[in-house]
Chains A and B, each alone.
Chain A
Amino acid sequence: MPATITPNKTEQDRKRRVEDHDNGSGRRPPTDKRTGGGGDNDNWNDRPNGRRGPYERLHRYRMGLFFALASDLMFFVAIVSTFFVNQSTGHFDPYNHYVNEWLPTTIPPILWLNTAVLLLSSAAIEFARRNMFRETDVMDEWLGLGKPITRRALPWLAATIALGILFLTGQWIAWRQLALQHIFFKTNQSSHFFYLITGVHAVHLFLGIAGLLTAFTGLYVSRQLETRQILVDGAAWYWHAMGLLWLFLFTLLVFFQ
């Protein structure tokens, strides 16, 4: 019997099943999303698109927020690049000497205190956020045993709002202190950036406080747990991002002038 160079029949057969979405392209078939579990005939294919998991809506809003924050990050990247460019830019005086007139702005010491306040507020909202997702509490709400989630999260949220307002007040005091030393927005290159960076960040925190107040109201008003979770979660991630951003900007203003 001659040696075969063609593989035998069994190896030629394609082993694939159309019901597994295998179209024979050789690539991995798509993941089957029909989980749902629990044996309760909860087939997620029966649910509307984009809402197949318990946290689908939450995850969608969170993803939108993260893209918005990425875009916001580019905004600050542009401003910080401008900071470094202007810091190193000079001009030639009539004697042909290169002059760099950058006069570093002294940071008012109260900013250290403000930073601590902002860090505290970030911790507070993280407690609020985590309390929104305690499974035993979720079960209690589902069974109709009061609103333990709201009860636990509200104080932390209130604390965050108070600390946020405290931070903004502290920033205001810092600006007043600088103004008393006759350092204003238009005084010099460095003060442009001090006021611009702290000001734009304050505007962001102002929007953040508006978001926190919305979440606070939502905890009272909204009856749907998922909406409340989204409100607090979104406000919390935004607030954390602004806290991180402040650490970065504060480092920039203190050490890189």
Chain B
Amino acid sequence: MTPPFNTPPAQPQPANTAGKKRRAALFPLRLFSIDHRIIGIQYLVLALISVVIGTVLSLLMRIHLVWPDWHLPLHGPILPEDYLALVTIHGTIMLFFVLTTAPQAGFGNLILPAQIGARSMAFPTLNATSFWLTAAALLILLSSTFVPGGAAISGWTAYPPLSAVASSGPGQALGMDLWLTSIALFAIASTVSSINTLTTIIRNRCNGMTWERLPLTVWGWFTAALLSIIAFSVLLAAILLLLCDRHAGTSFFLPTGDLVNGVLHQGGNGSPLLWLHLFWFFGHPEVYIAILPGMGLTSMLLANFSHRRVFAYRTMILTTLLIGLLGILLWGHHMFVAGLNPFASSAFSISTMAIALPAAAKVLSWLATTWRSKPSYKTPMLFALGFVSLFLTGGLTGPILAQPILDEYLHNTFFVVAHFHLIMAMAGIFGLYAATYYWFPLLTATSQHPGRLFSEPLGNLHFWCTLVGAYAVFLPMHLTGLAGEPRHYAQLTGIPGPGGSLSPAGALLSNTLPLNRFITYAAIFLATAQLVFLFNLVRSLRKGDFASSNPWQATTLEWHPSMNPFPPPSASDTPEMSVHRAPCHYQSNRSEVSFLPQWEPVPLALDEIEDATDTKPE
């Protein structure tokens, strides 16, 4: 007998042995657990630490851009190589350790098994191994800041020939080696974790969970994992070749007659363009690895809070896979200005613009799902809507940059920075926030008490501040980019020439300086707004309202009453789950049963009621 699917919150147990249990629950033994839920939370903690570091670094960059004379406490003035190191570490940390780990490995581990009705991931020990490899990679990356020569300064792309010659300048010696080691470790960890995800989805689904009934979130994780196993090993190969160039005397990426820092490199016949091909064959799918789980989650949340079916469910599955496939084929659009064959540029331009089609189909489905639905605007829903908004505004500049002619002008300006921060960083973060607010009851439930909810007013405040802040930071960047402001420049105003005159670049950019100041103020505001979230997190962990077993009236399996209280009892006690329908089935004309969870068998008479999408509004 299945328990009712919306049981009221259970009362917390009296805390007689609370202290002891809390100590046992907190650390040492659990640190090396192979339980997928603990590993998921470990990944989330890792991502939280990383995002705090990455945000602080970005603030330092913004402050340096408008007040270049500012002295960093305990450090002194920010030199050009310091600024480039900030760019590099910020990009690497945010892309790898936040946007790749948190949605894919973090929430994937926490929620995915429950959502497909599995007891655990397919390979639990491997799962723990990949987490600890990721943690080691983060430590190595951070340690590169403290070595002689400083952290790597080549950006997250590490273009040769400078990165291939250890003596080519600051940040290219030991710091670069550590950076490469860290990313190589991360690539291995990510591949292992993706193998785990794929095998779990294919092999460990419960009864009745057919491919077409998989929640779209699972499809997002599935596609992202497929991209991971295809792309990350290519990056690993490229890193191996680059390390050979640096230390074994080869020249895969070093051209003949290249003069680097006064040293002429003979022999070789390598090609720096080759690194770009290998790197971007990984690098472009990487941004889809970051965004696809967010897309799937947005689809599910919009349907859930609108009380509607997902519009065109099968098409949404297809577009997810199509975005993944096209995502592998269009790496060359990062290389339009790097000396790529113009005919190849045309091919990459067309394939890049083609990806607008499945992306537009997704947006259409999101709009059609919410259209005239009177959604309930809870915080997760707000963040899902914010995801759609940022995905649109960020995505609209994609086809512009996909054209080689326009990219000639806009490449390496802040226009590109604005584009990818809106669509990848901001939309990605909004997806993460939506996931956090939505799944918080599952994250926080213990054997002591049921899960807790975030405070809604604080969540609303956080959402609106973040939305306004995101647009205030990244919309003006399009304008400064159009005005020609280059990226990766430590000092925009230039060093005053003889007689105090501005350098040519400084003269060009003096017009955008007020706008740049505004962006910096907005960035500080945006970062401060995140303190609301941190406060809400700490407060809700301790005294948030207790949630019922299914507080959002969700239809997917992770909200099965046996999953909450959380963690559920040991695997052998977990009841069998069976799935009877696709997710997001809602009914409006029977008040007692307004939504049909996937696990609920319903008698024929009730099942025959038409769902809400088929009825005319009163």
Residues of A within 8 A of B (CB): 14, 18, 21, 23-25, 27, 30, 33, 45-46, 48-50, 56, 59-60, 63-64, 67-68, 70-72, 74-79, 81-82, 85-86, 89-91, 100-102, 185-186, 188-189, 192, 196, 200
Contacts and interface: CB of A to CB of B under 8 A. Distances in A.
Question: Which 9 pairs across A and B sit closest by C-beta, in order of nearness?
Answer: A186-B249, A78-B237, A50-B204, A75-B233, A71-B229, A91-B256, A78-B234, A67-B195, A74-B233
Contacts of A186: 248-250
A75 B236 contact: yes
B154 interface: no
Given A24-B607, A48-B571, A89 B580 contact: no
Contact of A64 (B122, B234, B257): B122
Contacts of A81: 277-278
Interface in B229-257: 229-234, 236-238, 240-241, 244, 248-252, 255-257
A71 B230 contact: yes
B212 interface: yes
Contacts of B194: 67, 71
A89 B269 contact: yes
A231 to B, nearest CB: 15
B119 interface: yes
Contact of B234 (A63, A77, A85, A192): A77
A67 B199 contact: yes
Given A30-B208, A71-B191, A82 B252 contact: yes
A196 B252 CA distance: 11
B201 to A, nearest CB: 11
A27 B196 contact: no
A49 B206 contact: yes
A18 B601 contact: yes
6 contacts: A27-B212, A50-B118, A71-B229, A86-B269, A101-B269, A102-B269
A18 B607 contact: yes
A224 B294 CA distance: 42
A60 B267 CA distance: 49
B614 interface: no
B583 interface: no
Contacts of A89: 269-271
A196 B607 contact: no
Interface residues of B, number: 67
Contacts, number: 141
Interface string B116-136: 011100110010000000000
A192 B252 contact: yes
A35 B571 CA distance: 23
Contacts of A76: 237
A64 B196 contact: yes
B234 A48 contact: no
B581 interface: yes
B214 to A, nearest CB: 12
Interface in B159-216: 191-192, 194-196, 198-199, 202-210, 212-213
Interface string B251-275: 1100111000000000111110010
Contacts of A188: 267
Contact of B203 (A18, A63, A75, A86): A63
A30 B579 CA distance: 10
B618 interface: no
Nearest to B274: A85
A102 B230 CA distance: 30
Nearest to B225: A67
Contact of B250 (A60, A74, A185): A185
Interface string B80-92: 0000000000000
B608 interface: yes
A31 to B, nearest CB: 8
B351 to A, nearest CB: 18
B118 A74 contact: no
B604 interface: yes
A60 B252 CA distance: 39
B195 A49 contact: no
Interface string B577-592: 1101110000000000
Contacts of A70: 229-230
B199 A60 contact: yes
